[in-house]
Amino acid sequence: MKSLKYISIIVLLLTLMFSCKREDPIVDIPVKYGNIGFQFANNVDGQALRVDTLVYTNAAGNNYMVNEVQYFVSDIVLQNSNGTFVSFGTGSELHYMDSDLPETSNWSVADKIPVGSYTSISFTFGLNEVRNISNVFLNPPESNMWWPLFLGGGYHYMKLNGKWIDTASNLSAFNFHLGIGQTYAHDVIVVDSITGFVQNYFTVTLPNSAFTIREDKTTNVEIVMNIEKWFEGPNVWDFNVCSATMQNQSAMQQVVENGGTVFSVGTIQ
C-alpha cells in the first residue's frame, strides 16, 4: 500500500510538471532610428531653373521667363515596406521653399525615422484646412504668402511669377498662383457674390521614391519641381488666355490637375 501511495504521488507530480505550459520571457527589441532630409530643386526641361532669363518655351508656344517660385509642402508621409506609415511630428509638419532664398532648398527633418526599407513618399502640396489659418506666420518670408481674407484667408500654396512675350510682342507679367478658390453666384466675379470656398491643395505621391533608412545615418532625398509640367497637361497653358489665376477657380482647378505630374525624385543618397 505504501509503495502504491508513492507511485501515485510521482504520477501526480509528473502530470503537473508536463501540463504546465512553458512561458518564454518577453524581450523588448529596441527600435533603431535614422534621419531623413529633403533637398528641393526647381528644374525646367531637366535643367536647373535659370531665373529672370527669357529662355523657355511652354507647350502653347509662349516664350517665358520665371522670376520666382515660392511654395509650401506639408504632411509628408513615408510608407514602410511592411505596410505601416510614418508621419512627422510637431515642428516638422511643413516646409516653405523660396527660389530667392537658397537656404530654404534644404529641409533637415528633426524627427527620428525607424530604420528599414520604405516604398514611397507622399506629401500635401499646399496647406490643408487645419494648417491654412490666417496669421499663423507672423514673420517673413512665410508671412509674405498671405492670401486675402475676403478670398478665403490663410496663405498662397504657391506663387510662380514670371513674364512672357504676348501676342503684341510685349513682355507681360504672369502670376501663376494657387490657393483657396471661390464660387460665385451667377458667375459674377465680385467679392459680394462669393457663395463658397474651394480647397485646392492636393496630394502628391512621388514616383520611384523607394529609399532606406539606416541606423544613425541621414538619407537625403531630392524633390524636383519640373516647372514646365505646370503648363503641359492635361491642360495646355497659354498665358495669352490666362495670365493670372487668383479669383479664377476654373483656372486653379486646371493648375491642380496639371500638378499631378510636376514633382519627381532626383538623387537619393
DSSP label at residue 157:
S
Percent of the chain with pLDDT over 70: 89
> Measured between alpha carbons, how far is 102 from 108 in angstroms, rounded to an integer?
14
Give Cβ neighbours of residue 247 (< 8 Å, ≥ 6 apart).
151, 182, 189
Domain count, the chain: 1
In a domain, 136, yes or no: yes
Quick: pLDDT tens for 222-259.
999 999 999 998 999 999 999 999 999 999 999 999 99
In a domain, 49, yes or no: yes
pTM of the model: 0.86
* Bridge partners for 264 per DSSP: 224
Per-residue cell: 42:
526647381
> By residue range, what is the domain housing residue 133?
32-268
Quick: pLDDT tens for 60-81.
999 999 999 999 999 999 999 9
**For position 29, what pLDDT does the model report?**
64
Handedness of CA 85, 86, 90, 95 (dihedral sign): negative
In a domain, 60, yes or no: yes
Q: Within a 10 A sphere around the Cβ of 14, how many other Cβ atoms?
A: 10
DSSP label at residue 233:
S
In a domain, 25, yes or no: no
Give average pLDDT by consecutive 10-residue segment, the chain, 269 residues: 46 44 54 96 98 98 98 97 91 94 96 96 97 96 97 98 98 98 88 94 97 97 98 96 97 98 97
In a domain, 19, yes or no: no
**For position 168, what pLDDT does the model report?**
97
**For position 26, what pLDDT does the model report?**
54
